[in-house]
Chains A and B, each alone.
Chain A
């Protein structure tokens, strides 16, 4: 992380007092015990106690705090539910944490236009619960959905199990209100579609708290599918499972979810929750089709035919909602289940072109041997998002470091086959030093200049996403000037 600013550290008392003038009594946490819960997020390997935690209750208070920090040169780390798996909300020694948890109200539900306006601290699941009575839901469903907040979902462009058909956060947010580090309040989008002008809404989504603080979100609501059915398939090898996925898509079927688990993950899940998964297979696939009832039945038949055609050795179809839930139980509990296999585990999040899956899995197996650490794999097979779970024991000196190195090697392998470093967890602190495997200096400079347009003094969440911090003045300089380049030899028309 960037070297803490000694001047800011020396002004700690004054800064806390400044925040207390804005938020009064209980809105500022500055005692050691109170700060402790904020020292890390879902990536617990990294810890840092901040100067203070500010807990505003309104957009106005958010704006005043940001303006104060901007004027005083204090860094700000925004935080929602604190569930980031990439260290997105890791505090800075010379910065404050801006907790959005008290902005937790559903402001309005507009079923006529199928949208809801919520504050950023509302949890992902609470949105769906607020509209369930009317048969609606909010589609993205990250596995932390009980705890993660919509503000954090926007910051990370969170995904979930149903992205191939229903998209990520960016496809399901219609508008936001954001506050810039200078304290300006800007509203983007709304209850209408495709607001024109630069798509700052898209840029904010997945910007990991580096560009602005989201204070209100308008989400798109969907009608709950009339029906959903799941098919559980077992395969003797990963290539057959991969072929099954490709053939389902090639047949024009877009499943609502298509999840794959490898042998280690299957065994762990089965032991954990007895979902009835076959234990004599190398891989299972869970394929869920949802929508119009007669169509779902026809597609389930097609999926079964395709699976038989590629040699599925095990096949089970849900005929009721209870059976469907049971089929999913093992997958939904895969992380805690794998977590029981070792004292600690580390979740990776690469995306690859799906057809490269068998070769990437072999590569992971090789790497797992080389680093002498077990790896179980769960895979959002529909959209190519791979979650290798690296098992390790932090109590053994050097094992955490080895797990991190293995993780980097796996992500580098993903990039080498045309994939990316992160599909839904974000770059954060965790993967920032790997950005160079995917982007060259020029690519990164274009991204960093975008940061400069929002936050020229790098006060918002600095140290995340980019391997090195550059000054905006240096990034902005143009190195060619009049008279230095010849007019290119272009044909006229």
Chain B
């Protein structure tokens, strides 16, 4: 049975971690717990909730900077930004459907996973927008790193080190981000019936084009038919989705040229513009792996693979050869969401596909606790890198009291 405690402020957090370091008793750190099932199960009997470290403490729209407590719900941040016509350009993904959790979680959780959505290849990742942190390290000491300005090389980039560290080095109390203007206009095109083999080169071509699309995904029929808004096309075949953003006049001009490019690749493609709300829904679903929340995939293990875009068709072919599986592509082919009915040993085939085709990494994104204990959730590291990672862990958290085991055994 897990003992659950809640911090009221940053000084509670500091005391709780200092105590843990003195006693060598670990904490599992949670915001709203929406991503507890991501990563390896934490080896800790006590849980520390950061929900009270909530609130935006600085927001200067014309400086493009926002600072908030790590326990601030993402929805609150997005709402505040929307009021000023701004957004988080890396498009925070919402995994609530995939994990069956309520809401998109907190800023701290998002940073801990360095999680970015469909706009990532064009706009950069979460870590690319991270400017500064205040945090308590596993030593129980408060420290700050980075700052609030756009350009800063003063000292090591510890804020970015914390992004993607799953709370195993330090626990952020405050996080400062670069925010950006939300595009004035946006439209999403659905292209019906383009086979994967044709669609992926098309997406790469579009990604390098002057039209600069900000969303490029391809969904084989089995996935498209699960997404509200795409079903009418999805019932007939694969669906390719292209998002175009910019000024009103810019979007109109881009649209015409994108359609022309698509027709060059496939003459017979059916093209339709998605209504605004439906488009928003579709991108949220895609970014959050939500298609795999569908009933037909219940109990399936789900992977998120970052691959070399041009190798994507080859990786996908090897994955699909496993049978009893489904996948879709985002990031112009650079990201593959792959689900399969649970089977032993499949992780070797998944990671083997990457080794054979240009490298990359595969994260076991959704699986049972048992599976996530037995199968490396994150891409295994070569020895020298693993040793360096352990030394970094040791530097920040010498007693191993922060989320032990969440990333790798012993880290």
Contact = CB atoms under 8 A, between A and B. Distances in A.
Interface string A102-141: 0000000011111000000000000000000000000000
A168 B61 CA distance: 21
Task: Give the most central of A191, A424, A488, A492: most B CB within 10 Å.
Answer: A488
A60 interface: no
A370 interface: no
B331 A193 contact: yes
Contacts of A157: 153, 157
A446 B139 CA distance: 10
Nearest to A466: B155
Given A113-B308, A423-B151, A427-B154, A292 B22 contact: no
Interface in A416-440: 418-427, 431, 435, 438-439
B150 A163 contact: yes
Contacts of B392: 198, 200, 450, 453
Nearest to B139: A478
Interface string B136-172: 0101111111011111111111101101110001000
B363 A196 contact: yes
Nearest to A225: B210
A449 to B, nearest CB: 4
> Interface size class for chain B?
35 or more
A43 B140 CA distance: 39
B69 to A, nearest CB: 17
B249 A295 contact: yes
Closest 7 CB pairs of A and B: A295-B250, A202-B160, A252-B181, A488-B15, A383-B150, A423-B151, A453-B391
B336 to A, nearest CB: 11
B141 A491 contact: no
A292 B398 contact: no
Interface in B265-308: 306-308
A317 interface: no
Nearest to A411: B154
Interface in A159-185: 159, 163-164, 167-168, 170-171, 180, 184-185
B147 A419 contact: yes
Nearest to B392: A453
Given A186-B384, A476-B398, A254 B180 contact: yes
Contact of A196 (B7, B15, B361): B361
A170 B394 CA distance: 25
B309 A113 contact: yes
Contacts of A443: 143-145, 155
Given A192-B308, A352-B149, A353-B148, 5 more contacts: A190-B359, A223-B208, A351-B150, A453-B395, A478-B22
Interface string B311-327: 00000000000000000
Task: Give the most central of B139, B149, B154, B254: most A CB within 10 Å.
Answer: B154
A485 interface: yes
Contact of B19 (A171, A206, A351, A488): A488
B389 A198 contact: yes
Nearest to A456: B391
30 contacts: A112-B204, A167-B124, A170-B128, A170-B160, A191-B308, A191-B358, A197-B381, A225-B210, A249-B63, A250-B62, A292-B212, A294-B253, A418-B148, A420-B152, A420-B154, A422-B154, A438-B147, A438-B154, A442-B141, A444-B155, A446-B396, A450-B392, A450-B395, A454-B388, A478-B22, A480-B22, A488-B12, A492-B6, A493-B5, A493-B6
Contacts of B340: none
Interface in A470-486: 476, 478, 480-486
Contact of B63 (A110, A355, A425, A454): A355
Contacts of A486: 19
Interface string B35-78: 00000000000001100000000001111110000000000000
B80 interface: no
Given A156-B153, A454-B388, A195 B160 contact: no
B114 interface: yes
Contact of A478 (B21, B64, B182): B21
A335 interface: no
B157 A423 contact: no
Contacts of B156: 203, 206-207, 211, 447, 450-451
Interface string A56-93: 00000000000000000000000000000000000000
A226 B147 contact: no
Nearest to B24: A482
Interface residues of chain B: helix, strand, loop or mixed (majority): mixed
A253 interface: yes
A385 interface: yes
Contacts of A276: none
A199 B164 CA distance: 7
A422 B156 CA distance: 12
Nearest to B389: A198
A453 B385 CA distance: 12
Given A199-B161, A355-B60, A385-B151, A184 B384 contact: yes
A156 B155 CA distance: 10
Interface in A310-359: 351-355
Contacts of B23: 482-483, 485
A118 to B, nearest CB: 17
Contacts of B158: 203, 446-447, 450
A353 B60 CA distance: 10
A80 to B, nearest CB: 15
Contact of B160 (A199, A454, A491): A199
Contacts of B334: 192-193
A446 B249 contact: no
Contacts of A156: 153
Nearest to A200: B388
Contact of A384 (B24, B149, B398): B149
A485 B331 contact: no
Contacts of B306: 192-195
A24 interface: no
B312 to A, nearest CB: 10
Nearest to A134: B208
Contacts of B363: 196
A484 B21 CA distance: 11
Nearest to A384: B149
A409 to B, nearest CB: 17
Contact of B151 (A113, A163, A180): A163
Contacts of B391: 452-454
Contacts of B226: none
A396 interface: no
A45 to B, nearest CB: 20
B19 A487 contact: yes
B351 interface: no
A14 interface: no
B209 interface: yes
B3 A492 contact: yes
Contacts of B384: 180, 184-186
